[in-house]
Amino acid sequence: MRIAFIIVSLTAIALALVHLRREEVTVRYEMQRTQSRHAKVRREMWDRQMLISGLMTPRAVRFRAEMMALEMTNEMASRAVTDRE
């Protein structure tokens, strides 16, 4: 009777250990996927920031203003940064 209890206890411990290891593998996989997605989103965000900064240069703003036939007021013209090219 005593040996049966020990066998059942060891079996239960072994099953719990297998279950915990399986959960650990699953969590590590999810963590790796999340980190990969995070890196991808950061790259996309960096690319968009670079695109936005390119659109905000004085030359690009002036070009778009001319393309849209916008006229700058005197106040806006005094604030405009001139290109030194």
Question: Tens digit of pLDDT for each residue in 13-72?
Answer: 999 999 999 999 999 999 999 999 999 999 999 999 999 988 888 888 888 877 787 665
The model's pTM is 0.55
Residue 23 lies in a domain: yes
Of 40 and 77, the one with more pLDDT: 40
Residue 84 lies in a domain: no
Residue 47 lies in a domain: yes
Residue 68 has a pLDDT of 80
What range defines the domain where residue 38 resides?
2-79
Residue 25 lies in a domain: yes
Torsions phi, psi for 59 (to 5 deg):
-65, -45
Residue 85 lies in a domain: no
Domain count, the chain: 1
Residue 43's SS3 state is helix
DSSP 64: H
